[in-house]
A and B are shown apart, each in its own frame.
Chain A
């Protein structure tokens, strides 16, 4: 809905003398301020890129920080040939992909049941899903810390300090949101469609896979992108639950290993930060419209 509204744009208007003159000025001012805001919004990522292309000597020399006199790819070469950095990248990639698959399986099926198959308590559960989405991870990490210790005592399974623990933890952040979006998308599909399928003898699972998933595909793509972005960016859980360098995911790895005491190797830190920001940015660049549709759907559909 919101997407369609954005894509349509304004209808063309006839000229009405003074109103049109006002609009020309409004347009100029709009562009002027948009450029200012764009500078503000894009300054940090651009500065990341500038710094990542500099040598350490140039960074520590008191020259113009916004200008590169000797562009070099040395930081990228150094970082990508470090085994440690590649381990962070691999951990992050595996965790994010597994979380995306797990989240979409759980949430699409559950959202279908909640939106269409109404069972005792399903309305309460839908509200519960929404409330869970509002519970922040800053509230949960301490009890989870204690629960992991308990699991280790009772079942002899060490959940602490393993990157794969994140595959269990991240769905708590992604599933409620993905389910919430999917309930909204599924609820907007006309009832006649699944009734026709059921009359034709389709099972519930067939109705889901043959009708609902193809029709709600934009919603599924939006939810997938979000899940990936959240899983890739998560910082608190890996910081609290992993410590060995071989078990860290990318954001935590960059912050804990590249910042050593007072010696800040800013060229490498910015290179790492930029590489860490790259996967979500690339996905966003290609699937921007789905991303924005999902963003507005998450808070407005219900």
Chain B
């Protein structure tokens, strides 16, 4: 970022006439100054800490000595770490798949009903996305309460046994995914609904006349037309879900027995609560590979569309 500043006056193409050149130079200077607060913010509070995390991860617990890959070696030898890796992947992938499916299905239903009622339904179905996640997770925590669970009460009425929602490893994993799907699928619904609106109606009519079943219409018309938006929404959501913190922290705090910890919550437990900042930094760095892959795909898609326009 800093070299922009240094090379700014000299870096401009100098082929223009001198008067115009001067103007261009002035314009670019003003533009740079206008973007300066943004550049400073990104450099100091995002880019620098991100790089600093890498350096921190190579120090010992007291941050007095360089230990190289010591923290990583330590992590690889711990069972809890592999549990966190497994749970992070399970959590993110399962949640994104279910969010995408529910979002797609609900978007279809909203799209099917008459246009004048759509706004009302859309507004109602987006509510989970608007409530601060920490607050809505509290409501879920109360719905999952071991002794007063309102969900178990409903199950009891239907003749089922109560479920230990957050008390047992398998169910706790299911619960955090359920809450994440509840919060995230409205976002998918809105994105897919916008995409559905852009599919020309004639394509469906043509497909119907050719005798296509509803399944064929979805498979051969809707999905190919929406492919791009499905991919980009899923990638966005994958990043956010993988880096989640609020839901797991409030609902289970990683328990029972660390079975629901994901990278974000475990890094918090180790780094802030456990006081081992370098180890926490090392844990959080494991999010980078998957974020980088998703970001690359998103960027490629955006530049591709940019060049088409």
Contacts and interface: CB of A to CB of B under 8 A. Distances in A.
B32 A113 contact: yes
A260 B198 CA distance: 51
A44 interface: yes
Nearest to A44: B139
Interface residues of A, number: 107
Given A38-B125, A273-B135, A119 B264 contact: no
B67 interface: no
Contacts, number: 327
A232 B113 CA distance: 34
Given A136-B240, A276-B135, A277-B132, A296 B150 contact: no
26 contacts: A6-B197, A9-B118, A30-B113, A34-B106, A44-B182, A62-B148, A65-B153, A106-B37, A106-B38, A107-B38, A109-B34, A112-B34, A113-B35, A120-B32, A129-B38, A132-B42, A134-B294, A135-B291, A138-B243, A143-B48, A145-B271, A147-B49, A169-B45, A172-B46, A204-B27, A289-B119
B286 to A, nearest CB: 10
Interface in B98-145: 102, 105-106, 108-110, 112-116, 118-119, 121-128, 130-136, 138-140, 142-143, 145
B35, B108, B115 pick with most chain A CB within 10 angstroms: B35
B125 A273 contact: no
A199 interface: no
A120 B11 contact: yes
Contacts of B306: 302
B14 interface: no
B134 A233 contact: yes
A204 B30 contact: yes
Nearest to B282: A142
B56 A296 contact: no
Nearest to A288: B123
Interface stretch (A45-53, A74-82, A83-91): A45-53
A113 B31 CA distance: 5
Interface string B232-244: 1100100110111
Given A106-B38, A172-B41, A179-B38, A45 B50 contact: no
B116 to A, nearest CB: 7
A117 B28 contact: yes
B202 to A, nearest CB: 11
**Which applies to chain A's interface (DSSP): helix, strand, loop or mixed?**
helix
Interface string A17-53: 0010000001101110110011011111101100100
Contacts of A217: none
B281 interface: yes
Given A34-B113, A139-B287, A119 B28 contact: yes
Interface size class of B (residues with CB under 8 A): 35 or more
The 8 closest A-B pairs by CB, nearest first: A9-B115, A136-B243, A233-B132, A117-B31, A138-B264, A110-B38, A119-B28, A44-B139
A145 B142 contact: no
A134 B239 contact: yes
A15 B229 CA distance: 32
Contact of A299 (B8, B118, B232, B245): B232
Contact of B194 (A29, A270, A300): A300
A295 interface: yes
Given A117-B27, A125-B39, A236 B246 contact: yes
B52 interface: yes
A209 B42 CA distance: 25
A289 B45 CA distance: 32
Contacts of B121: 34, 38
Given A42-B124, A113-B34, A130-B299, A140 B201 contact: no
Given A138-B284, A140-B53, A302-B302, A175 B135 contact: no
A155 to B, nearest CB: 14
Contacts of B150: 47, 65-66
A142 B267 contact: yes
